[in-house]
């Protein structure tokens, strides 16, 4: 069985069901991320963002798909294995730690990665959870302070969305 999933990331303040008074400025950042499970257990993750500032921005899957309060209600990085925060290629990392994407001068970031911890089925599935692109660079747990091992010092969301199933192919 092959599964495809998709996440549309937006600065979704205008989608809140009630008026809010959060201090977050409207970021104007938008993105789309597509996930494809492969038979070898890897998941291909590819996507693009617009509206970013030039440079690196952390990309994370968080625990809850609850956008009631924007990125404030999506919980910590998805961490079913009770690890510290890290980089995508580190042994010590949250399942939801996908490192950074890098935006060019036009504010566009395009990326394609393979990951062996992200899964689209089973007990550690990311389906129904949220993804967020951050305002800051993720220090990948190397920031030598407490927050580095929790969020990589990248905890302000610019755009977010819920990961949903796009297609299931029996094989």
Residues in contact with Zn ion by the rule CB under 5 A: 77, 85, 94, 97
Please give the DSSP secondary-structure letter assigned to residue 13.
G
Q: Which is nearer to Zn ion, 30 or 94 (CB)?
A: 94
Please give the DSSP secondary-structure letter assigned to residue 64.
-
Max CA separation in the chain (angstroms): 48
What is the nearest approach in angstroms of Zn ion to the Cβ of residue 69?
A: 20
Residue nearest to Zn ion (CB): 77
Q: Which is nearer to Zn ion, 57 or 94 (CB)?
A: 94
What is the nearest approach in angstroms of Zn ion to the Cβ of residue 97?
A: 4
Q: Which is nearer to Zn ion, 3 or 45 (CB)?
A: 45
What is the nearest approach in angstroms of Zn ion to the Cβ of residue 80?
A: 12
- Burial tier of 34 (Cβ tally within 10 Å: 0-12, 13-18, 19+): middle
Q: In angstroms, what CA-CA distances link 98 with 25, 106, 121, 138?
A: 25, 22, 18, 9
Q: Which is nearer to Zn ion, 56 or 77 (CB)?
A: 77
Please say whether the beta carbons of 57 and 107 come within 8 A: no
How many CB atoms neighbour CB 112 within 10 A? 10
Q: Which is nearer to Zn ion, 29 or 62 (CB)?
A: 62
What is the nearest approach in angstroms of Zn ion to the Cβ of residue 60?
A: 6
What is the rounded CA–CA span in Å between residue 17 and residue 19? 7
What is the nearest approach in angstroms of Zn ion to the Cβ of residue 114?
A: 18
């Amino acid at each position: 069985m092959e599964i495809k999933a998709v996440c549309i990331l937006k600065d979704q303040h205008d989608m809140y069901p009630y008026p809010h008074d959060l201090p977050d400025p409207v970021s104007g950042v938008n993105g789309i991320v597509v996930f494809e499970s492969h038979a070898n257990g890897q998941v291909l993750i590819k996507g693009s963002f617009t509206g970013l500032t030039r440079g690196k921005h952390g990309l994370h899957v968080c625990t809850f798909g609850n956008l009631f309060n924007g990125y404030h209600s999506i919980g910590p990085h998805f961490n079913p294995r009770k690890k510290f925060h890290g980089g995508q290629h580190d042994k010590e990392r949250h399942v939801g730690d996908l490192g950074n994407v890098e935006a060019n001068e036009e504010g566009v970031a395009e990326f394609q990665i393979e990951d062996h911890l992200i899964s689209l089925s089973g007990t550690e599935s990311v389906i129904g959870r949220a993804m967020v692109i951050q305002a800051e660079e993720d220090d990948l747990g190397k920031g030598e302070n407490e927050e580095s091992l929790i969020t990589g010092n990248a905890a302000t969301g610019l755009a977010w969305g819920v990961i949903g199933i796009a297609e299931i192919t029996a094989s």
